[in-house]
């Protein structure tokens, strides 16, 4: 199955509102180490951010925009979000802005209060310009291993009951699955379980943090090859997709791509409850374990170009070692710019974290197994 195209990929400005740092869940692998119930975005901060962005059409010159809403759990602030989105739509129309009718409101939600009356009213009002992904990790055992309430109770059943409604409103909706060391044994059955729930596209990735133990890569490869067997034998590849299997990965790096950055930090913009701007949410303080936040401006004074400039110089070569650049399976090896910064031995954004190196190589081996077996099954030379 062909991977679903992302709306205006590469052509849209991504603007993120951190509307709350609260969440019903305390997921064990969550990179948000500073979640709390106090930091909620005031309406005035949101309005100032919108006015600044829409006023400066020279700096924000992209032909489209994606307005992301995150938390914590964004739908905890549905009243504020509804007001923000109404204001954006009215201002785009009043200003005859280039983004009018070329924008999206994007959400990644834990799905717990998806059925809430206010959330559903918002969805129906904005459906034509809306993208929503619900995060569900797989089987109850896999999901409840990490995605738990503050009481310690698992959240699987509270999320799963909303999947049919979500898929009815967003046919072909994709979910995002996160893998950390303890849940590797559940990968195969979890992806197949999500397919049974009616989810046809499963985007799945390993956490970038250094959590991996000896032997994880071998177990990871075993799970993926087992999954490959099931997908091919049941011919699920015709109707379903799993991002772990992609033809373009596991090859030497195309030299034309050396001046590209895997991450979009610096090209995006995030704003928090205090009105501070960041090159990505991963550079806000609640996302960082060991480093100080990288603030690039605020809603009152705008973006400081000197603080933004280091991010514009990021590419594969400026942050990768020669070993990574020359690696014979370099293509498809991902990184997170915020984790690079947080894990670095100094406060620099030019030091690439390689914690997932062995996991990437295991994925490549399983990916090669998948495509070789599929080609043979289809009798493609």
- List, for residues 163-193, the tens digit of each pLDDT value: 999 999 999 999 999 999 999 999 999 999 9
pLDDT of residue 259: 72
Residue 353 has pLDDT above 80, yes or no: yes
283 DSSP 8-state letter: G
Determine what percent of the chain falls in helix, strand and coil, rounding each to the nearest 5. Answer: 40, 15, 45
254 DSSP 8-state letter: P
Q: Same domain for 213 and 247?
A: yes
Please give the share of the chain, as a percent, with pLDDT higher than 90: 92
Q: Same domain for 107 and 211?
A: no
Provide the Cα torsion 193, 199, 205, 211; round to 10°: -40
Q: Same domain for 56 and 101?
A: yes
256 DSSP 8-state letter: G
* Helix ranges (DSSP H) in 27-116: 43-55, 78-94
Helix (H) or strand (E) holding 66, with range, is strand 64-70
Q: Same domain for 114 and 170?
A: no
Q: Same domain for 182 and 253?
A: yes
**Would residue 230 count as lying in a domain?**
yes
The mean pLDDT of 340-356, rounded to a whole number, is: 97
pLDDT of residue 7: 45
CA 103 to chain centre: 18
**Would residue 1 count as lying in a domain?**
no
Q: Beta strand pairing status for 297-298 and 302-303?
A: antiparallel
**Would residue 34 count as lying in a domain?**
yes
Q: Same domain for 108 and 235?
A: no
pLDDT of residue 202: 97
What is the chain's mean pLDDT, rounded?
94
Residue 252 has pLDDT above 80, yes or no: yes
Entry pTM: 0.94
Q: How far is residue 105's CA from residue 125's CA, in Å, rounded to a whole number? A: 12
Q: Same domain for 241 and 222?
A: yes
Q: Which residue has the tokens 């710019």?
A: 337
Instruction: Quickly state the pLDDT bin for 359 (edges 50, 70, 90).
Output: very high
Q: Same domain for 220 and 164?
A: yes
Domain tally for the chain?
A: 2
**Would residue 4 count as lying in a domain?**
no
Residue 42 is part of which domain span? 12-134+267-313
Q: Same domain for 221 and 307?
A: no
**Would residue 304 count as lying in a domain?**
yes
Q: Which residue has the tokens 């498809």?
A: 332
Residues 251/367, Cβ–Cβ less than 8 Å: no
- Sorted by sequence, the CB contacts under 8 Å of residue 338 that are 6+ apart come out as 31, 265, 280, 281, 282, 283, 287, 288
| Model pLDDT for residues 68-122, shown as the tens digit of each residue | 999 999 999 999 999 999 999 999 999 999 999 899 999 999 999 999 999 999 9
Q: Where are the beta strands (DSSP E) in 300-358?
A: 302-303
């Amino acid at each position: 199955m062909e991977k679903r195209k992302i709306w205006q990929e590469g052509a849209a400005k991504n603007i993120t509102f951190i509307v709350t740092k609260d969440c019903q869940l305390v997921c064990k692998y969550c990179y948000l180490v500073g979640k709390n119930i106090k930091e909620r975005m005031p309406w005035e901060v949101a309005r100032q951010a919108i006015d600044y962005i829409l006023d400066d059409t020279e700096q924000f010159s992209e032909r489209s925009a994606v307005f992301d809403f995150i938390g914590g759990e964004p739908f905890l602030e549905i009243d504020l979000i509804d007001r923000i989105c109404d204001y954006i739509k009215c201002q785009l129309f009043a200003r005859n802005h280039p983004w009018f009718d070329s924008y999206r409101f994007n959400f990644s939600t834990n799905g717990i209060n998806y059925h809430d009356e206010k959330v559903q009213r918002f969805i129906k009002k904005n459906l034509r310009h809306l993208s929503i992904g619900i995060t569900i990790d797989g089987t109850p055992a896999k999901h409840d291993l990490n995605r738990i309430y503050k009481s310690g109770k698992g959240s699987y059943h509270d999320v799963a009951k909303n999947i049919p409604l979500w898929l009815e409103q967003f046919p072909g909706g994709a979910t995002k699955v996160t893998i950390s060391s303890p849940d590797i044994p559940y990968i195969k059955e979890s992806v197949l379980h999500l397919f049974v729930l009616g989810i046809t596209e499963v985007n799945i990735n390993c956490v970038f943090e250094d959590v991996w133990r000896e032997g994880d890569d071998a177990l990871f490869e075993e799970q993926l090859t087992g999954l490959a067997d099931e997908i091919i034998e049941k011919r699920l590849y015709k109707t379903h997709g799993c991002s772990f299997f992609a033809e373009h990965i596991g090859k030497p790096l195309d030299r034309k791509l050396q001046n590209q950055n895997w991450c979009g930090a610096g090209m995006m913009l995030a704003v928090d409850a205090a009105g501070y701007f960041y090159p990505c949410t991963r550079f806000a303080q609640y996302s960082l374990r060991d480093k100080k936040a990288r603030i690039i401006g605020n809603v009152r004074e705008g973006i400081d170009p000197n603080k933004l400039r280091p991010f514009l110089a990021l590419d594969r070569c400026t942050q990768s070692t020669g070993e990574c650049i020359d690696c014979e399976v370099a293509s498809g090896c991902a990184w997170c710019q915020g984790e690079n910064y947080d894990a670095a031995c100094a406060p620099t954004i030019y030091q690439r974290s390689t914690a997932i190196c062995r996991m990437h190589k295991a994925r490549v081996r399983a990916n090669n197994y998948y495509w070789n077996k599929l080609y043979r099954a289809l009798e493609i030379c």
